[in-house]
DNA sequence: GTGAAAGCGCTAACAA
DNA sequence: TTGTTAGCGCTTTCAC
């Protein structure tokens, strides 16, 4: 009766002439085993091609080394690309740390929370990665309350809920508003760099093309433009707002360029910037005498590179790495080992042709 | 001693006053259990909030209901978006069929195969979804040889390996070259529709801007352009080839437009088409008298919608649905229940402004 | 340092 | 129809 099936701990143990848990020890606490025994066991493992069955281990240890991620609804915009890259980096980074990514779908936050519970009790998932945090996000609260490891790509955008925190601590519940692990890109720093870059080139009236007020990400980027102006001791110029999209960008740019003094546009996204590019081209055609208008985008999507758009690049790889790091520490029960629980990563300005027009007062 | 921990089959059994096995039966073969017992058990399940532990079940049944998917290297091009959408549709579709998607990373096909083996013996993954099939693909062969369920998004692009097939059958190995489950978009039909659309509008010299010869997908799309010309009984015009990319598209378009008779461009991808759009605009500026040039792209990416590019839309949702269907059948051991083992899905031409220029001979 | 026993939660086979 | 027995492959006490 040949042992044709895949080898188990017992198979290895028999071969090495030891007991089953000695093999287990060699695998999990090698330092506890005498060197020569260890050597013998390792050889048997190698000869048999033994691979540990993680399902069995999971049943025993209740740890799956699985991370759940909701596959967010396909973004219409060009900016959806960012998520794609994040997913890729995350998969790679997780794999490097012995974790796996499991995808799931959910229609909305409420459904997502239901799925957390489901995946947790059902497949024993160890933790979750959240994207697209927004103000009034109920997911982080739920996960915190249930002591489930998680980290978010994106800050908590809520204002500090002083009222609730006070109330909660009165009831003895630890107030932890937004005190979860998160990693985010410093959008403010990004647009500030872009705006400075344009100010340095001599531009004085730089319009900001943003999203409607109220989105955390959008407001953050707007703040960077403001900051650059304040730091330069200048008065800020025009702001135009629009939903994300190329056509919307064209319209917003046209409104901004109605002011004849405007010589540059800082855009909240590459989609908007692409639309602005269109508007600027049209302007160059209709008013050949007007000074060339510089443009910067945000996200550094492939299209930006393609059309020569100066843009703010998000170091997605870093984001993924830190998220995995934080999650791994939480899962291993040593969250204190990761000093930076909440990480803001500085983006990088990638200068291309659309901002290369020098201006002097 | 309260039962604070999550309920198990035993907990439910005790509550319902039956044996563990009966509860299991209620869950897995309800028709075998007497209605009133079933009712009682179900009530207990409900009251206790019991959820079956899939890990334990998996250990016993050796089935994980997990599908593996390699997260492909982030595509630089705009066309990468297609994959993003596929991933989303796949996740949703799989979830609807009780399957989950697990991601993994691999540097190349060889590493991917190693990971198949790894995931298989380690986490007991049930099957794999492959993307980006290409000629000389070793992955499908390996999976077939190991009897591992899988389905590919993309046809096998190899020529029928007559020699090897003959040799294999001589040795008694069933020759199954490319006889695995696959779903693909009919690229040929797509470009054919695009070309016809332009021919119907009166265009006669329609250039094809393609990728370098040798890629299955690219050649397939090229074939559609040829077919439309042949069906129309006309002689085909210019072909220009370039690597995928916006700048490359501009260059190729310029080469094609050097022929003054060319009035339309059928492009192999949206990236190329976007570049072509740029070239056509420039041309309109430099040679205002030349007839407007129509353009079509391929993939119907968000950018296409944004700039008004006529493009061929891939029904990704359908692809995902069929793939899950096939995989589910294989996993359940009833592959014969899915009649169409190999599915070619017809894409849809989305007409926008870039092809709206009417031409008469 | 090593081994024996127990059990994670479930289902497949058989017996009652 | 229902219950009993056994075991999936692993790790965690606890003796030795």
More confident residue, B88 or B83: B88
Give CA–CA dist B46/B51, Å, rounded. Answer: 9
Q: What is the CATH number of domain A3-52?
A: 1.10.260.40
Query: What's the confidence (pLDDT) of residue B359?
Result: 59
Residue range B272-298: mean pLDDT, rounded: 93
What are the helix (H) ranges across B265-350?
270-286, 302-307, 316-331
B38-57 residues labelled b (16+ CB within 10 A) or e (exposed): bebbbebbeebebebbbbbb
Give CA–CA dist A180/A195, Å, rounded. Answer: 32
For residue B121, the distance in angstroms to the closest alpha carbon of chain A comes to: 7
Show residues, CB within 7 A, near nucleic chain D: A 5-6, 8-10, 20-21, 24-25, 27-28, 50, 52-53, 56-57, 59-61; B 17-22, 25, 32-34, 37-38, 56, 59-60
Query: What's the confidence (pLDDT) of residue B233?
Result: 94
Work out the pLDDT band at B172, boundaries 50, 70, 90: very low
Query: What's the confidence (pLDDT) of residue B338?
Result: 77
Work out the pLDDT band at B237, boundaries 50, 70, 90: confident
Whether any strand C atom is under 7 angstroms from the Cβ of A20: the reply reads: yes
C-alpha radius of gyration, chain B, whole number:
27
Give CA–CA dist B336/B338, Å, rounded. Answer: 5
Query: What's the confidence (pLDDT) of residue B134?
Result: 86
- What is the 8-class DSSP label of residue A336? G
Closest listed residue to residue B323, CA positions, set B92, B147, B80: B92
* Beta carbons of B105 and A121 less than 8 Å apart: no
Phi, psi dihedrals of residue A68, rounded to the nearest 5°: -95, 145
Report domain extents, chain A: 3-52, 66-185+315-346, 187-313+349-355
Work out the pLDDT band at B175, boundaries 50, 70, 90: very low
The DSSP element (H or E) to which A38 belongs, if any, is helix A35-48
For residue A161, the distance in angstroms to the closest alpha carbon of chain B comes to: 32
Contact A198, A206 (CB under 8 A): yes
In DSSP notation, A259-287 reads STT--EEEESSHHHHHHHHHHHHHHHHH-
Residue range B171-184: mean pLDDT, rounded: 66
Query: What's the confidence (pLDDT) of residue A338?
Result: 77
- What is the 8-class DSSP label of residue B262? -
Give CA–CA dist B263/B280, Å, rounded. Answer: 10
Q: How many angstroms is C1' of D9 away from CA of B161?
A: 42
Report chain B residues whose CB lies below 8 A from the CB of A275: 306
Structure tokens at B287: 């040679």
Among A226-235, A341-350, B78-87, B332-341, the range scoring the smallest mean pLDDT is: B78-87
List per-block mean pLDDT (blocks of 10 residues) for chain A, which spans 361 residues. Answer: 69 91 90 90 93 94 95 64 87 96 95 96 95 89 94 84 41 54 96 97 96 93 97 91 92 96 96 93 90 95 87 96 95 81 95 80 44
- What is the 8-class DSSP label of residue B69? E
In DSSP notation, A88-142 reads HHHHHHHHHTT-EEEEE--SSHHHHHHHHHHHHHHH---EEEE----TT-HHHHH
- Give whole-number Cα distances, A330 to A99, A101, A306, B55, B74, in Å: 13, 16, 40, 22, 28
- Which residue in B59, B104, B245 is closest to A56 by CB distance? B59
Phi, psi dihedrals of residue A102, rounded to the nearest 5°: -115, 130
Fold match flag (B66-185+315-346 vs B187-313+349-355): yes
Residue range B211-227: mean pLDDT, rounded: 95
Q: Is A14 exposed, middle or buried, given 0-12, 13-18 or 19+ CB atoms closer than 10 A? A: middle
pLDDT digits (tens, 9 = 90+) for B100-155: 999 999 999 999 999 999 999 999 999 999 998 888 899 999 999 999 999 999 99
B187-222 residues labelled b (16+ CB within 10 A) or e (exposed): bbbbbbbbbbbbbebebbbbbbbbbeeebbbbbbbb
Query: What's the confidence (pLDDT) of residue B81?
Result: 73
Contact A297, A267 (CB under 8 A): yes
Closest listed residue to residue B104, CA positions, set A101, A323, A85: A101
Give CA–CA dist B192/B290, Å, rounded. Answer: 26
Contact A288, A57 (CB under 8 A): no
Residue B248 has pLDDT above 60, yes or no: yes
Architecture of domain B66-185+315-346: 3-Layer(aba) Sandwich (3.40)
Phi-psi region of A169 (alpha: psi -120 to 50; beta: other; left: phi over 0): alpha
The pTM assigned to this predicted structure is: 0.89
Residue range B187-313+349-355 in CATH 3.40.50.300: no
Residue range B196-210: mean pLDDT, rounded: 96
């Amino acid at each position: 009766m040949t042992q044709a099936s895949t080898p188990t701990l017992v198979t290895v143990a028999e071969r090495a002439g030891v007991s089953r848990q000695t093999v287990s020890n060699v695998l999990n606490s090698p330092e506890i085993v005498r060197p020569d025994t260890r050597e013998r066991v390792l050889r048997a493992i190698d000869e048999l091609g033994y691979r540990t069955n993680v399902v069995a281990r999971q049943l025993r240890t209740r740890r799956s080394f699985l991370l759940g991620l909701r596959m967010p609804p396909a973004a219409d915009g060009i900016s959806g690309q960012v998520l794609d890259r994040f997913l890729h980096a995350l998969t790679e980074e997780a794999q490097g740390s012995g974790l796996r990514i499991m995808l799931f779908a959910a229609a909305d936050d409420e459904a997502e929370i239901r799925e957390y519970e489901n995946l947790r009790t059902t497949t024993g998932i160890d933790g979750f990665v959240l994207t697209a945090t927004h103000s009034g996000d109920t997911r982080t609260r739920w996960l915190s309350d249930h002591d489930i490891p998680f980290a978010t790509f994106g800050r908590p955008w809520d204002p500090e809920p002083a009222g609730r925190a006070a109330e909660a601590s009165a009831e003895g519940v630890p107030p932890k508003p937004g005190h979860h692990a998160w990693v985010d890109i410093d959008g403010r720093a990004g647009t500030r760099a872009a705006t400075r870059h344009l100010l340095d080139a001599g531009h004085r009236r730089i319009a900001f093309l943003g999203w409607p007020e109220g989105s955390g990400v959008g407001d953050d980027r707007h703040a960077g433009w403001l900051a650059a102006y304040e730091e330069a001791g200048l008065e800020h110029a025009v702001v135009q707002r629009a939903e994300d999209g190329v056509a919307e960008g064209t319209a917003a740019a046209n409104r901004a360029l109605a002011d004849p003094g405007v010589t540059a546009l800082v855009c909240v996204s590459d989609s908007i910037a692409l639309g602005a590019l269109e508007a600027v081209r049209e302007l160059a055609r209709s008013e050949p005498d007007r000074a060339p208008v510089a443009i910067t985008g945000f996200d550094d999507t492939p299209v930006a590179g393609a059309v020569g758009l100066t843009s703010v690049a998000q170091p997605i790889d870093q984001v993924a790495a830190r998220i995995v790091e934080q999650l791994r520490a939480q899962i291993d029960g040593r969250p204190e080992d990761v000093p930076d629980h909440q990480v803001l990563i500085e983006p990088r300005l990638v200068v291309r042709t659309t901002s290369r027009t020098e201006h002097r007062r």
